[in-house]
Amino acid sequence: MNYVLRHGGALVLAVGLGGCTPPDPPVLAPAPAAPAAIAPAQHPASNDDMAHRPIDDAPEAVAAAAADVDSAPSVVSVALDHAGEVLIGQPFSEVQADGHWHSAGLHEATQGRCEYYERGTLPEGVAMMVQDGDVVRFDLAPIDDSGQVVVQPGPFGLRLDMPRAQALRQLPRGATAQPYGNDPEAGETLLWQDPGSDLAIRVEIVDGVVSRMYWGASGAVDLIEGCT
């Protein structure tokens, strides 16, 4: 297999890096210097449009569980352009000294072109893909599939194990559905491309619930097998 992956491209983000607190999600920063690697959504999308989807699905009632404020986990700001304080398009060298990072050990196999990292300054349960030295994608899942229960939400309030119908309601208008990979029995992918930037999110649905999600540069989000 060719381990030299296409570069998602460093994005020009209208976000200051100098000690600023990340904004509340969703923040969809424009990146005019990097063209989208996948086609934009066919329907106009809006950051404020979180209601109905163009995919025909029978609505399902989702019971809202009352949250215990004292026991609720802390939520770190996550949007399409960042996770915690780490930004899409940011050189890994800028955050490398900020914490202890755990890597997937793919540096040699990919000839230094691609690596996964977690921990450091990322929210718990979030990993990131680094291509050619730049952060290009975030994954809401441990890199070693350790079975860790991830409570941190992703963009738009999406969570692992969320029912498909609820995920569709929370994604912006224009999300599309397609089979996961070449096997229609393996699951389904929900994809939304921000029409105003090179940012996208891909949500994997297995057995009717969200199993993983990826967000960041659209070219990197579109890589189903990631670094491998």
Burial 145-164 (b: 16+ CB within 10 A, else e): eeeeebebbbbbebbbebeb
**What integer pLDDT is reported at residue 228 of this predicted model?**
62
Across the beta sheet with 101-103, the strand order is: 101-103, 114-119, 126-131, 134-140, 209-217, 199-206, 188-193, 176-179
Per-residue pLDDT tens digits for 20-69:
454 454 443 443 333 333 333 333 333 333 332 333 333 343 333 433 43
Distances (CA, A) of 212 to 13, 56, 80, 178: 25, 22, 15, 15
**What integer pLDDT is reported at residue 100 of this predicted model?**
92
Neighbours of 65 (CB within 10 A): 6
Per-residue pLDDT tens digits for 41-53:
333 333 333 332 3
Quickly state the pLDDT bin for 117 (edges 50, 70, 90): very high
Better-scored residue on pLDDT, 227 or 198: 198
Residue 179: both structure tokens together = 């089979």
**What integer pLDDT is reported at residue 227 of this predicted model?**
80
- How many whole angstroms separate alpha carbon 17 and alpha carbon 75? 20
Strands (DSSP E) along the chain, which ranges? 78-79, 82-83, 86-87, 101-103, 114-119, 126-131, 134-140, 176-179, 188-193, 199-206, 209-217
What number does CATH give the domain 78-221?
A: 2.60.460
- pLDDT reading at 212 higher than 60: yes
User: What residue segments make up the domains of the chain, in order of their start?
Assistant: 78-221
Residue 186: both structure tokens together = 């393996």
Map residue 81 onto helix, strand or coil.
coil
- Say what the pTM is: 0.67
Amino acid letter for position 214: Y
Residue 195: both structure tokens together = 């029409």
Average pLDDT over residues 150-162: 93
Per-residue pLDDT tens digits for 102-113:
998 887 888 889
